[in-house]
Amino acid sequence: MRTALTRWAPSSDLVRDRFSRLFEGAFNDMLRPFEAEGVSDRAWAPAVDIRETDDEVTLLVDLPGMKKEDVDVTLENNVLTVSGERKFDREESNDNYHRIERSYGSFTRSFTLNQNVHTDKVDANFKDGVLTISLPKEEQAKPRRISIK
């Protein structure tokens, strides 16, 4: 039995993939009814940036339009979990929504932490719709310079 191999052509394959995604998206949009009648119940997850320095790991969680009271941060068995709910705040009035694109409802994001994080010194701050979680590293995890003798 022979196996057929297809040569990969990066430029034509990328164009074909982009065209397929574009066509699929347009086709799905045509089939989807207007969403203005109700709030979408699709699951959503806030965007998270994770950066690392020699001293700590920092998570930046985008939560626009939310308050800190709407968000929970828990740490259990070296798993950091950020969860909450963004409620659709529509007053009973004569407002007619033509399109609702922002996501609403509950979300949960979980991250497994390295064993070298000071779990008792984790700090969380919420400002301007961004939750910043600082995870300080233990001394043994910090890089150090070794002198050569």
Domain that holds residue 73: 48-88+102-141
3 vs 66, residue with greater confidence? 66
Domain tally, the chain:
1
Say what the pLDDT of residue 9 is.
Answer: 58
* Contact of 73 with 81, CB cutoff 8 Å: yes
CATH of residue 74? 2.60.40.790
HSE-CB of 130 using CA atoms within 13 angstroms: 9
Q: How do residues 123-140 score in pLDDT, each as one tens digit?
A: 999 999 999 999 998 877
Position 81 in a domain: yes
Q: Is residue 37 pLDDT above 50, yes or no? A: no
Q: Contact 89/81 with Cβ under 8 angstroms?
A: no
pTM: predicted TM-score of the whole model, two decimal places: 0.65
What is the percentage of the chain residues whose pLDDT exceeds 90?
40
List pLDDT tens digits, range 40-88. Answer: 555 789 999 999 998 999 999 999 989 999 999 999 988 999 999 988 7
